[in-house]
Structure 1
């Protein structure tokens, strides 16, 4: 019965880059296995992990033919390996997933249903619960749902959480360039600007993902570098992708640039977290 139901559903390709996340990987994979939506393929690409991640992924792949495992012989970085996986995706919809997060059971079903009803959208994200290393909920990240508000905010805030996002493959050109492999970080920011060239983006009002905050988060390691990288991406979006920021957006972007330049690096991430909590309320 499940097989018949799944065959009538659009295929969703879930892309899961992995690098040394053995502590959380089984939970991430299991969260896709536990989806109420059944017609999916999970493409796991292991970026030459040095821990037990590869073995964990192999065990899951052996038990479920919908899981495809690609093993890198050389460490390339998340953008490069995600690009490789994207080329293998066969789905009408492509969803991203990080190896330390947990997708809620109804995530794929709700996103597919929403995109099927809103054909003008290129993609949709969702709201997030923040969890710690032991899966305790420690907060929330709330994002705007209106496509116009999301577009306006792009120049001073990232209004979509990447691992919640699902994109409609048919709206992208055949040789679409996904992640810029030369970027040291924040490649997902540029990708969203690219998507906006082909359609609008929305967020579901529902929580779709548990986003894990822990000591090894990439965003915690070089916050000043990452913020300056984001600023350069915003300027690139104006020059290359035709993005037109509002006057308010430009002022907020400038204010951020000044604050980040003056702040000691050790204060940037705590201040960023405080701003997120303040915005959530």
Structure 2
């Protein structure tokens, strides 16, 4: 039997969006205030799910589908056909992050994941295939009007509120209180909550007797009126190992009760340092201290975790999602496919055929041949003759890289969207359909990419590369540290991005080797917005002839990438760890830091730490010493410039110059430079 609660339907206002909330029995404690607020502006329905078919019915009814927990309900709801058409929100509290549930969700169909704490957000992004751009942190709010504030003072009544389970640190709770009791046996521990594991019950019963605490540990069970129950308590004790926030602690703080908070994972990002303890001795000292500031405890909750703030953030989120979510039937705008080829006869047909056989039909194909000598030209001409939607450009002279061909794809594309791809790669049957669907539904995006299947010479998948969506600053920071990208650059672009910005594919300082990484930062500079579909629809081939395996070129061209960032981005972006505004001589220190950066590149490459696993490492030390010399040339420019800029950091720069000179001398002794 379906259980529907809190259904607020005003049939006279049919233009209102409908929100359906899915939750399991007994797990809606954090949801009630949200529903009460949203029903003022939306038609709402809460479904306590006892049968998964209720989710089909609810999603058929609602425009916006809210899954209160990341559990089997959202796993099911994210997979049904309606998922692509509805706005779907999943709220992930804490415990779900450490279960198998996140792996079972089709995240591609989730529009927004609400996390209640930043450390949980980071864990989810790092451990599951969840795009960072889909996540938002909105802490649980405290309705301070429901909690009676009083100016309180030290006393002997300690409260513990909540379930007693492994996450709450039950052993630490008991041993901490025993140490407090040993300090002064007037202290009493009052427990409001339920045990969730019989083993904890057995342990508590045993150790309370062993410790002689029968009269000082008072278990009073779950409380319906927690505000009243807390009224005579002087402290609230938290011994958890991990929390999203610990709502009961904040509720007690709203009443002016002093919190004693164990340094659980994430605690320092939530609470003031003065309220957190590491050792049991720390906890004892906090309790026996005469310092007691009821107004500060209450003000902290009111300032940062007031329910009204949470509700405003949620309402704003809803408006944004409604504004950007489009329910579009794809009309198949023209897509230009540009395939760059140089001596790719062995793989070329596989690549072309993968686009000719797409489920998406409105495609033109532009083949760019870079003066091949292996017979590729004949294959291309055969395709031109056979297919009206295929045209080709033939270079009379080899250009030395892929960039010229990509530039020609951009300048000759007739489609609303385009994709360039190397001739040795190919795509899955629905790749273009899924890419176009994403860009049509997200008109603010200029580019969409996917995960990659890694294949060998025999078209056998050997592994899968799973990408994420990082913020622009994080992408720039990563590239500055590694000269390698976080975004695959051979998927689907919106052509208007290039037209509106009057740009094309960039070759900088002659870098036509790692041009994909270079153009990532070039496009970001021009306000590039990107997104991702959560499946592998591109097949990327790694074989013995891959250009990307050339170590010498990788090293040489990384300098152009670093130089582009240094000259086009603020140092606060690519090196945010430094407090630049507080430096005495920012310009001289910047030259010193960049010179140090290039010296570190030498050391990291010689140790092989920054060379990808798939790149051949059949290289001698003498060769590496020679290749890395470009870093020394670049770094010494900043050494010399820094020495002209005053005396603040001169000694550090001179010490670094000695290291450079030692390396340069070693290279000369090897006979690899003059």
* Shorter-chain TM-score range: 0.7 to 0.9
Q: 1:272/1:18 Cα in 2 relative to 1: closer, same or farther (>3 Å)?
A: closer
Residue in 2 aligned with 1:121? 445
Return the offset for 1:15: 1.1
Larger deviation: 43-52 or 140-149? 140-149
Return the offset for 1:269: 4.7
Residue in 2 aligned with 1:247? 576
Taking the aligned partners of 2:397 and 2:545, their CA distance within structure 1 comes to 21
Taking the aligned partners of 1:208 and 1:199, their CA distance within structure 2 comes to 22
Unaligned 5+ segments in structure 2 are 1-329, 579-592, 618-674
Residue in 1 aligned with 2:601? 257
Q: How does 1:30-69 map to 2 (within 5 A)?
A: 30-69=353-392
Return the offset for 1:199: 2.5
Root mean square deviation of aligned Cα: 3.0
Q: 1:126/1:234 Cα in 2 relative to 1: closer, same or farther (>3 Å)?
A: farther
Q: 1:11/1:242 Cα in 2 relative to 1: closer, same or farther (>3 Å)?
A: farther
Q: 1:238/1:50 Cα in 2 relative to 1: closer, same or farther (>3 Å)?
A: same
Q: 1:147/1:108 Cα in 2 relative to 1: closer, same or farther (>3 Å)?
A: farther
Q: 1:241/1:170 Cα in 2 relative to 1: closer, same or farther (>3 Å)?
A: farther
* Residue 186 (structure 1) aligned with residue 514 (structure 2): yes
- Pick one of 477, 481, 493 that aligns with 1:167: 493
- Pick one of 94, 97, 105 that aligns with 2:418: 94
Unaligned 5+ segments in structure 1 are 1-6, 275-281
Q: 1:248/1:68 Cα in 2 relative to 1: closer, same or farther (>3 Å)?
A: farther
Given that 1:13 and 1:89 are in contact with CA atoms closer than 8 Å, whether structure 2 keeps it comes out as yes
3-state SS of the aligned residue for 1:143? Answer: coil
Q: 1:200/1:85 Cα in 2 relative to 1: closer, same or farther (>3 Å)?
A: closer
TM-score normalised by the chain length of structure 1? 0.82
Return the offset for 1:208: 1.5
Given that 1:145 and 1:204 are in contact with CA atoms closer than 8 Å, whether structure 2 keeps it comes out as no
* Residue 130 (structure 1) aligned with residue 454 (structure 2): yes
Given that 1:224 and 1:260 are in contact with CA atoms closer than 8 Å, whether structure 2 keeps it comes out as no
Residue in 2 aligned with 1:12? 335
Larger deviation: 62-71 or 82-91? 82-91
Q: 1:247/1:258 Cα in 2 relative to 1: closer, same or farther (>3 Å)?
A: farther
Return the offset for 1:262: 1.4
Given that 2:513 and 2:554 are in contact with CA atoms closer than 8 Å, whether structure 1 keeps it comes out as yes
Q: 1:179/1:120 Cα in 2 relative to 1: closer, same or farther (>3 Å)?
A: same
* Residue 106 (structure 1) aligned with residue 430 (structure 2): yes
Q: 1:10/1:146 Cα in 2 relative to 1: closer, same or farther (>3 Å)?
A: farther
Deviations 1:213-239 (A, max 9, x none): 111000112x24314423431331342
- Pick one of 546, 549, 561 that aligns with 1:217: 546
Return the offset for 1:246: 5.1
3-state SS of the aligned residue for 2:368? Answer: strand
- Pick one of 537, 546, 554 that aligns with 1:226: 554
Residue in 1 aligned with 2:637? none
Given that 2:452 and 2:538 are in contact with CA atoms closer than 8 Å, whether structure 1 keeps it comes out as yes
Q: Which has the larger radius of gyration?
A: 2
- Pick one of 201, 205, 220 that aligns with 2:530: 201
Higher relative contact order (CA 8 A, sep 6+): 1
Taking the aligned partners of 2:344 and 2:436, their CA distance within structure 1 comes to 28
Larger deviation: 13-22 or 179-188? 179-188
3-state SS of the aligned residue for 1:38? Answer: coil
- Pick one of 600, 613, 626 that aligns with 1:270: 613
- Pick one of 565, 568, 576 that aligns with 1:237: 565
Given that 1:147 and 1:201 are in contact with CA atoms closer than 8 Å, whether structure 2 keeps it comes out as no
TM-score normalised by the chain length of structure 2? 0.36
